[in-house]
Structure 1
Amino acid sequence: MIAVEVVYALADKQKLLRLAVPQGTSAREAALRSEMDSYFPGLDVATSPLGIFGKAVPRPEERTLVEGERVEIYRPLIADPKEVRKQRAAKAALNKAGEAGKSVT
């Protein structure tokens, strides 16, 4: 058996569970064993993206855990970060252009 942690967080609530799992357990298996969905209704652990220590795991079903690792269950993104950055840049450009058009008398 090895000791691992499984974590999930919302803006106002988070949970960290320590588990003892058999050696050879995958990241997905550990997330499922944590039963984190019982603490967070609506969470779909079977399909949620996972990471280990802040790095996304592309195939969590294939990633075998080692002693002491922390599996993170990620929430779905509400907005695409690239799109948000583009919108912010466009707004800043408009503001800058508007300020350039003003003259001080």
Structure 2
Amino acid sequence: MITVEVAYALPHEQKIIAVQVEEGCTAYEAVIKSRIAEVFSQIDPENDPMGIFGKAIKDPKKEIMKAGDRIEIYRPLIADPKEARAKRAAKLKAQKEKEAQDTDS
């Protein structure tokens, strides 16, 4: 038996569950065994993307776990990161232009 962790985080709440699994266990099997989907009903182990220590894994049903691994279940993005950065940059630029106009007056 080995110990792995299963993690899920919301903006104001996170849970990391340590679980004992058989050697050769997959990431998907560890998530199911952890029963984390009973804590967070929005988790869909069949479809949610997963990673190990921040590195995405392609197929959780084939990814073999090692002792000490932490499986992370990812939530869908609320906004496209590139789009969010572009909006922040545009807002900052407009703010600087307004400040420049105010000092010129």
TM-score (norm: length of structure 1): 0.86
Aligned partner of 1:69 in structure 2 is 69
For the pair 1:23 / 2:18, whether they are aligned, the reply is no
- AA of the residue aligned to 1:39: V
User: 4+ residue runs of structure 1 moved beyond 3 angstroms?
Assistant: none
Q: Distance between the aligned counterparts of 1:2 and 1:101, measured in 2?
A: 64
Aligned partner of 1:80 in structure 2 is 80
Aligned length, in residue pairs: 105
Aligned partner of 1:48 in structure 2 is 48
Give the deviation of 1:49 after TM superposition: 1.3
Report SS of the residue matched to 1:102.
helix
TM-score (norm: length of structure 2): 0.86
For structure 1, which runs of at least 5 residues remain unmatched after alignment? none
Report SS of the residue matched to 1:48.
coil
For structure 2, which runs of at least 5 residues remain unmatched after alignment? none
Identity of aligned residues (%): 46
Alpha-carbon deviations, 1:2-24, whole Å to 9, x = none? 21111112223222211111211
For the pair 1:57 / 2:57, whether they are aligned, the reply is yes
Name the Cα RMSD after superposition.
1.7
